[in-house]
Amino acid sequence: MKTTELTSPLIGTVARVAPVGTALATGTAAVIIESMKMEHPVVAPFDGEVEAVNVAVGDQVVVGQPVAVLRHIDGRDAVAGGEAATSVDVSADAESAALAEVRQRRAFGLDTNRIAAVERRHATGRMTARQYIHALVDEGSLTEYGPLVLAAQRSRRGKEELISKTPGDGLVGGIAEVDGTRCVVMTYDYMVLAGTQGHQNHRKKDRLFELAERLRLPVILFAEGGGGRPGETDGVTVAGLDCLAFALLARLALRVPVIGVNTGYCFAGNAALLGMCDVRIATEDSYVGMAGPAMIEGGGLGVVKPTEIGPVQDQTSNGVLDIVVPDDREAVDAAKQVLSLMTGQLHDVVERAPAETLRDLVPENRRSVYDMRAILGAVFDVGSVVEVRPDFGPSTITAFARFEGRPLVVVANDPRFLGGAIDTDAARTTARILGLAEKLRLPVAFFCDTPGFMVGPDTERTGLVDAAGALFIAGAALTVPFLSVVTRKGYGLGAQAMAGGGFKQPIATIAWPTSEFGGMGLEGFVKLGYRDELAAIEDEQEREARYEEMVAKMYEVGKGLSMADHFEIDDVIDPAETAQWLRLLFERTGAEHA
């Protein structure tokens, strides 16, 4: 009768053997060897019967050492007396039980298993954390990190309570795609301890921020929550001031697009994270502050309601919030739109107003105000202009937009506010968006209509000197292409700031036929420069007539055609030709071709 010798596949200790005479079915174990705490079967390669055993339990064996002899069984079914090879691993039933336990744990964080909390959340008009993520990311694209994490409160709460009440330690996040762009996305879960920041919660953020930096991924953060969380009892921290999240996000904000979204209350640490974001989106019922009611009261500063801290009307007029939308759903949509602009996504479908409409948007009467936003709406792709900080320094419009499907940054003076003069707030918000343009590598289009920097004692008290200096520095820092279009007024230092520091700094400085220029406002120039000459004219009517004559002469000298024939600007164009010049912003340079 044919026999086969079975040998040990590795070094180890014999744990079990099948007795001589045992019938083995194919795949069952004749001998089991333990090695490095794991059991390894030596299996029957065919139906057979154990004819001899060469080892005993406890024997040490080496690779290739004979351990048993198996005799072939012909013409009858073997009765398996050995152990199935899989018996040394987890059984099918045990594996199902383990998987079921994992699924059960993960299910505690799902909205379907938090009905009461979800109902309370919806009663406030808010979406849940997972609904934010679901609405934001492409279907099925989320790879979630840390869903099984629990709050660091094991010494004061039972495990079951922590599992049911602190899933994910109040943070849902991971890597996902948003309209095809891979991002790190995260949202505080207000249904877990009011969206506060716990020890494990910070560690999750740290992990995700580190991944974003390593992979150079944009970040979208939903920041709603109450800040640092008292009552964390696990671990050895005293104050937790060595947490990494704030430094990590700040470092990220130097490298990748970071978009913050807030709905509802956002205080303390949550607000600090929101404040580091490049663009901050909020719903109309948001309240944002570096301290919530408890911290204010704890500091001996009185008892205040959360709705008294940082309402939207305050935080838009002071520049904290960039974009305000009516509700949660529109906040998500705004985040998607801003992400596509900040990451340079191209749009194939392009629609623009007829170029000829630009000819009629600036009145010939130089004293008539007009709507700069109408110009931007006609120049750029329809519906693509997204303003940031519209209520902060409103004499200057700062925005993202698309031109022929390609994103860029836009800065434009608004003559309806201060005549387009650049005050402290306007200078600061312009410097900020120029910094973003440089970081994001987006070209810049300036649309200039300014009498210069705002003047007067009240203005100087706001710190204009510092803000103007910062604006010039931001212009000098630009290495992306930029262009300046003068629609009407181009006066003084303000006009130079609207050209990155001077009219020869942009790749082109062009003007419309309605343009006018001067080292300062021409009326002021005449009054100051010819004060003695005018004062010498005794007749008041004659003096006024002489003044008007001199101003008119200065306007003739300072109009766009005069600037162009002295080559102080590159050209005066038909407004309908503006698109031809804007295309220069997107032409590849020789260095890029090399």
H runs (alpha helix) in 559-584: 560-565, 578-582
Answer positive or negative: Cα dihedral of 312, 318, 321, 324: positive
Please write the tens of the pLDDT for every residue from 259-316. Answer: 999 999 999 989 999 999 999 999 999 999 998 888 887 888 888 899 999 999 999 9
Tell me the mean pLDDT in the region 440-468: 95
Given a cut of 90, whether residue 351 has pLDDT beyond it is no
Residue 228 near residue 193, CB atoms below 8 Å? no
User: pLDDT tier at 83 (50, 70, 90 boundaries)?
Assistant: low
Tell me the mean pLDDT in the region 384-412: 96
Given a cut of 60, whether residue 333 has pLDDT beyond it is yes
Residue 33 near residue 8, CB atoms below 8 Å? yes
Instruction: Say whether 147 sits in a helix, a strand or coil.
Output: coil
Higher pLDDT, 544 or 9: 9
pLDDT of residue 237: 65
pLDDT of residue 243: 76
Pick from 217-231, 366-380, 417-431: least confident: 217-231
Please write the tens of the pLDDT for every residue from 166-202. Answer: 888 889 999 999 999 999 999 999 888 888 878 788 8
Tell me the mean pLDDT in the region 247-263: 94
User: pLDDT tier at 538 (50, 70, 90 boundaries)?
Assistant: confident
- Evaluate whether the domain defined by 3-89 bears CATH number 2.40.50.100: yes
Given a cut of 50, whether residue 250 has pLDDT beyond it is yes
219 strand-pairing partners? 184, 258
The whole-model pTM stands at 0.82
Query: What are the start and end residues of each CATH 3.90.226.10 domain in the chain?
Result: 109-342, 355-515+559-593
User: pLDDT tier at 405 (50, 70, 90 boundaries)?
Assistant: very high
Task: State the distance between the two ends of the chain, measured CA to CA, in whole angstroms.
Answer: 79
Given a cut of 60, whether residue 87 has pLDDT beyond it is no
**Which of 209, 129, 141 lies closest to 170, judged by CA?**
129
Tell me the mean pLDDT in the region 110-131: 90
Query: What are the start and end residues of each CATH 2.40.50.100 domain in the chain?
Result: 3-89
Given a cut of 60, whether residue 590 has pLDDT beyond it is no
Indicate the class that CATH gives domain 355-515+559-593: alpha beta
What CATH number labels 109-342?
3.90.226.10
Given a cut of 80, whether residue 137 has pLDDT beyond it is yes
